[in-house]
Structures are given as C-alpha cells and as structure tokens.
A and B are shown apart, each in its own frame.
Chain A
Amino acid sequence: MIRFENASVVYPGGVHALKNVTLEIPDGQMVVIVGLSGAGKSTLIRVINGLVPLSDGDVTIDGVSVRHARAGELREIRSRIGMIFQTFNLVKRTSVLNNVLLGRLHDAGTLRSVLGWYRPEDIEIAMQALERVGIVEKAYVRASNLSGGQQQRVGIARALAQNPKIILADEPVASLDPPTSHVVMRDLQRINRELGISTIVNLHFLDLARVYGERIIGMRQGELVYDGTGAEADENVFRDIYGRSLTADDLLGEPAAAPA
C-alpha cells in the first residue's frame, strides 16, 4: 500500500510542485494520473521512489517511510519499484539484455554487477522478462537499433526484471505512435492484472486514460483535484482538471484495435 500524507514538494527557486497531497493506493491497483504539464504529475510519481525529495509530509510504502530512508534503505526500496520513462532511458550503445540486467543490479550485488559476472539465475530472470513483453529474440541486439515501441518494451522488461511490487510509468507512450501506444498500455495493463503489481501511470492523452485507468487521479497546480474511476471521468471532469476546454492535442484519437 502506498500512502501519501500531506506530501509537499517545493523546488529550489520556489516552485510549489506538490501541495499537501494525501492519497492511498492499495496493492495491485492500476492508477492513471492526468493533468497539464507542470501540474505535478511527474513530481507525484517521483516522490514515490525518492527521485524527488519531499519538502514536507511523507510517503510510505507498506509503512516504510521514503522520506526518512537512508541511502542503503532507499536503494532497497527502489529495487522493488520499477520505473518506465517517456524517453525510455536505455543505454543506447549496449545490448537489450544488458539494459534489462540493469534491473538486477541491486539484487546481484556490487561486485558481481560491476564485473558483469551475473549469476545464471539473474540472466534467467532477465530473459523471462523479455519473453513476457515478447521481444526475447532481440536480446543481443544493440538497443539503439530498435524501434520506439520496442525500446519501451525493453524498458518494461527492465522494470519487470526487478520483480517489483510497484511499477511507475512517467508518460510511457508520449513518444510513440497511436497503435504502439495501445500495445504498450495493454502490456502494462496485462502485467498489472496477471502479476498483481501496483501500476501508476502518467498520461496526457485523456482517451487513453479513460480506457486504461481503473482509477484516475487529476492534478492541477500541484493539488489533487479529482479521484475517481475511469467510467465516471467524462469531459466535464477533465475540463475541471485542466481548467480549460479539451483540445485535439489532449486525445490520442485512435481507438484500440480489438484485442487479439
């Protein structure tokens, strides 16, 4: 269970990115966060694994405080949280497998990982993660040779290789075309349902949010302004969150193809 208690973040320079957010996310839930750029979506996600430090309040995961975790504890917490990025954040010059193995770094220990002497079990976990997202045949291909959608799936595999309890996804499909976006979102949904991993996704395409978000959280100027189901979130709700009428840029526009 992820719990936010009056979490606040003020960036140096005075920007109040999160204002007193209080929130509970039970295990296994799929949550979509929507809001304008700068509304606090990225910050909300990044305080969960401590990439952004809290200025006030706290975030706890199964009772363990993120804000007060020391360096080693923080790494332990992070190792159980997988993260997926809008720009994929793969190491372009190295193989897909090496990228997925980044997810095994914490569990493999410093000595083994720095020397590259991963145990067979670690390699096995990485391979299985690749199989789960369906691109194991690219295991030894250089990451930069893959398409955008494939690279994001490597990102997902990297997160899966951590055997995570939580997956955070920061605008995972913003750089992808519509059909690929649906593929990736369906992968995330499948992983959430089959493996019971809590999944928290930032999206700025509202139609995607409605389709894939079992729970939708709306952020505006750092404050939580909406918390409800995908079904309930209609245009009025979104207009409240965004503070303006919807435009074509807010929608992906293409409905999902019928599931295979």
Chain B
Amino acid sequence: MTAVAMPARPARPSHAKRNASLLAAAAVVVWAVLSIEVDWTELADVPGGIGRIFYNMFLEKGVDWTYLPTAAEGMLDSIWIAWVGTIIGAALSLPIGFFGARNVSSGLISNVVRQVLNAIRAFPELVLVIVVFIPIAGLGAVAGALAVGLHSVGTLGKLTAEVVEGIDPGPVEAARAAGGRPLQVQRWGVLPQVLPEIVAFWLYRFEINIRAAAILGVVGAGGIGTIVQETINYRRWDKAGLAILVVIVATILIDVVSGWVRRRIIEGSGARRVGGEALEEPEFAGSGAGRVDTDIG
C-alpha cells in the first residue's frame, strides 16, 4: 500500500447547547434551595424526628395488633372504593374511548372527546371529591368512589382511545367487507384486538386507585386514610404503625395479584404494553418502562 497522507484528527466538538441547559437547570435548583422559606438548619433534626416516629410506631411497644380489625376494615373500605371506582371508570371509558379514537369515530368528535378527557384527567381525585362529590353525596365512601371513578374515566378513556387507534386495520376491513353493521364491526373487528390490552389497563388502574382511595380518606371520603390521619393526630403511634403496615401489605399483595393476572392476559394475547407509568405517558412506552413486571413488586 502506498503511503497516503494521514487524515487530520478532528477537533473536540463543543457542547455549548448541552452545557447551557445543564447550567440553567442547576441554577434553577440552586435558586429554589436558597429562596424557599425553609430553615435548612432544621435538616439536622430530621433524622432524629423520623427516628423518633419510627421508634414510637414500631419499636416502643410494637404495633398494636388489637387494632387490626379496625385497620383492616378501613383498608377494605379503600379497596371497595378503588374497586367501584375502577368499574365505573372502565364501564364508561370503553364506549367513550371508542368515540375518542380517530379511526373509529370522526376526526371532529374524537378531538372533542379527547379534550374533555384531558380536562377530567387534570383534576386529581382529591379535588374532584372536595369540589364535586362531597357536596353531592356527603362525606363517606360513596363520594370517594365516584371521584375515583370520574378521574379514571379520564385516564382510561385516553388510553383506550390510543389503543383503538393503534389497531391493525385488516380485520376491521374484513368485517366491513363481509357486510357487518358498524356495531358488529366494532365488536368483532376491533374489540378482540384491543380487549386484552385494555383489560390490563383496567387492572393497573385498580392498583393506582387503591392508593388514591387511601388518600381520599384524609378528607373524609372513607377508608384507611382517615384512620392513619386520626391515629397520627391523636398520637396513637402504635395504632398508626399498624395502619401503615396494613396499607403496605395490602397494597403489595394487590399489586402482585393484579400484576400476575395482567401478565397472564397480555401473554395470552401478545399485546405490547402491560403497565407502569408508561400507561400515563405514552412517549415512555418505547423505552422499556412498563414491560411485564418481573418478580417482586
């Protein structure tokens, strides 16, 4: 090989844009730390405070096991709230989701429906319960269930619409070509493709709603939230510790069972997404988040 002139080594590229963004982000964080009205010297007391509470709840006298029936009842209330709320959400979101899908309903209708769903989604269950449902149904579990249900319609409706939009048009075309009426086309051409994924969404929503239901208890909408709040307010630490344990155990159990069922449904159908925050934010779906959960949690 004859000698050729060695190409020159390239210069190091400048990362101006990236560095500027990083600097800006760091500046925002520093500003927040400096400007927030918090006495940072209190940070030193934090471990002590947490340690004390932890000790009071779990170690001083051990948790109060006699409180278990009450706590379990409260947790069960929260589970019912989540259950009813998810059913309401699932039942309503299925037809609404179809209306929100561009390929099934018209472009205009689907747009309007999606905007309405977005508006509903924007309100956390807590706000819905305070503003809408406690005034109607009074304090208690019913208000909680309705709030969870309405919010779930928003989220599930959006996800259903997206799944429907993502279907393979082949079977739908075949159903139409065979002379099927619109409802039949939906039932036999679209539904079989999307049902497993949608049911998986319902189950995942149920898992999230358990947490939402626990939260609602704090404003009097029933459930374990009320119990945790009261036991903490009245400084009944051993009872509070038990209530928290109940929440943890029940939530993990439900997550595991629900996750198992979801996996069985999805594996049987070969659909893509299963769960995780990827459901809420579809641009995360391709990143691997939300794939089939592996063992613990």
Contact = CB atoms under 8 A, between A and B. Distances in A.
A–B touch (CB < 8 A): the answer is yes
Contacts of A127: 9
B13 A140 contact: yes
Contact of B7 (A136, A140, A259, A260): A136
Contacts of A137: 7-10
A140 B12 contact: yes
Interface string B1-45: 110001111101100000000000000000000000000000000
B287 to A, nearest CB: 13
Contacts of B2: 260
Nearest to B11: A140
Interface residues of B, number: 9
Interface in A242-260: 259-260
B1 A131 contact: no
Interface in A108-141: 127, 131, 136-140
B5 to A, nearest CB: 12
Interface in A131-161: 131, 136-140
- Give chain A's interface residue range (CB within 8 Å of chain B): under 10
Contact of A259 (B1, B6, B10, B13): B1
Nearest to B7: A137
Contacts of A139: 9-10
Interface in B177-209: none
A120 to B, nearest CB: 13
A139 B6 CA distance: 14
B1 A136 contact: no
A133 B12 CA distance: 20
B188 to A, nearest CB: 42
Contacts of B10: 136-140
A138 B2 CA distance: 22
B256 to A, nearest CB: 28
A150 to B, nearest CB: 14
Contacts of A260: 1-2
Contacts of B6: 131, 136
B288 to A, nearest CB: 14
Contacts of A131: 6, 9
Interface string A44-70: 000000000000000000000000000
A93 to B, nearest CB: 13
B161 to A, nearest CB: 32
Nearest to B6: A131
Contacts of B1: 259-260
Nearest to A138: B10
The 7 closest A-B pairs by CB, nearest first: A137-B7, A140-B13, A260-B1, A139-B10, A136-B9, A140-B10, A137-B10
19 contacts: A127-B9, A131-B6, A131-B9, A136-B6, A136-B7, A136-B9, A136-B10, A137-B7, A137-B8, A137-B10, A138-B10, A139-B9, A139-B10, A140-B10, A140-B12, A140-B13, A259-B1, A260-B1, A260-B2
Given A131-B6, A140-B13, 11 more contacts: A127-B9, A136-B6, A136-B9, A136-B10, A137-B8, A137-B9, A140-B10, A140-B12, A259-B1, A260-B1, A260-B2
Interface of B: 1-2, 6-10, 12-13
